[in-house]
Amino acid sequence: MKILENIKQPFWMGLVVLTAMLTMPGIVLSASKQKQNRGFTDSFMFDECTGFSSTGCNPFFILEPGHQLVLEGTEDNEEIKLIITVLDETQDITTNETGLVTTRIVEERESIDGELFEVSRNFFAICNRDNSVFYFGEDVDFYEDGVIVSHDGSWRAGVDGARAGIIMPGTILLGSRYFQEVAPDVAMDRAEILSINQVVKTPAEEFKNCLKTKETTPLEPNAKEFKFYAPGVGLIKDGVLLLTEINHL
């Protein structure tokens, strides 16, 4: 796949070494013992980033304009379709921690039984130092009968105490926990890396060496989601949703 050519070689080498290390029984056992009582990271040392890029690739998260994923599934007898598109658009966002950052806009369009339900425009940028992808906010529109009825869940880093979180680390560590969104009382999603060697079958194709995460939020203590990401592709499974198409617009 052409997009793989854009991934930084040193990062891939590090990922291979890390994978080998994590298969050693002693290291995996140590990580398991330390997991309990460990919180979620919400401080990301932005001062160590040597700048941010709005275009590029993390092995599990693509910010190349035109990259599009389509996921579909059924829940409660409803047909759900999610279209994720990396747009050829950017958004400048300024925070005290990062200064001015030009972010890439990634649009998510979710339909239920063919009717548009939600459109979100998400703002991401890649830290040039370690290839981590940071999440700077989202604009959300909820629809009912073709009309916008709510903007619930919208947030912007640098506004009302919200701060950028990390959507995909540049260094993949088994058992690591981190906040993806840091917007008090609005959006506080967080993730934990559960596995880095999953095999996932989707209608699009079968993927190996996939990353599995568990997402939770303190705003809904009983809620949890499991997501799977394929190298060079991105999100391929989200709950009942499975990848059906990979497009390059």
Segment 184-237, tens digit of pLDDT: 999 999 999 999 999 999 999 999 999 999 999 999 999 999 999 999 999 999
- Amino acid, single-letter form, for residue 53: S
Encoding tokens for residue 219? 């705003």
Residue 38's pLDDT band, with cuts at 50, 70 and 90, is: low
- Mean pLDDT, rounded, for 147-155: 96
Residue 132 reports pLDDT greater than 50: yes
What is residue 158's DSSP assignment? T
Residue 246 has φ and ψ, to the nearest 5°, of: -120, 120
Q: Does residue 43 surpass a pLDDT of 90?
A: no
- The pLDDT assigned to 212 comes to 98
* Average pLDDT estimate for 69-74: 98
- pLDDT > 90 fraction of the chain, expressed in percent and rounded: 81
Averaged over 146-169, what is the pLDDT? 96
pLDDT band for position 48 (50/70/90)? confident
Mind giving me the DSSP string for 85-139? EEEEEEEEEEETTTEEEEEEEEEEEEEETTEEEEEEEEEEEEETTT--EEEEEEE
Q: What confidence tier does 146 reach under pLDDT thresholds 50, 70, 90?
A: very high
Q: Please tell me the predicted confidence (pLDDT) of residue 47.
A: 85
How many Cα atoms within 13 Å fall on the side-chain side of residue 91? 18
The pLDDT-based confidence of 129 (bands split at 50, 70, 90) is very high
pLDDT tens string 90-121: 999 999 999 999 999 999 999 999 999 999 99
Give residue for tokens 């995909």. Answer: 168
- The H-or-E segment that residue 84 falls in is strand 78-95
Instruction: Provide mean pLDDT across the span 66-78.
Output: 97
Q: How confident is the model at residue 5 (pLDDT cuts 50, 70, 90)?
A: very low
Between helices 9-22 and 25-35, what is the axis angle to 10°?
90
Whole-angstrom Cα distance, residue 4 to residue 11? 12
At 61, is the pLDDT very low, low, confident or very high (cuts 50, 70, 90)? very high
What is the average pLDDT score of the chain?
87
- Residue 178 has a CB neighbour count (10 Å cut-off) of 22
**Cα 98 to Cα 49: distance, rounded to the nearest angstrom:** 9
Backbone angles phi, psi at 127, to 5 degrees: -70, 125
**In which residue are the tokens 């959006």 written?**
187
3-state secondary structure of 66: coil
pLDDT exceeds 90 at position 3: no
Q: Is the pLDDT score of 19 beyond 70? A: no
Structure tokens at 66: 């035109």
Task: Match 């060496």 to its residue by tokens.
Answer: 209
pLDDT > 60? residue 2: no
pTM for this model (two decimals): 0.84
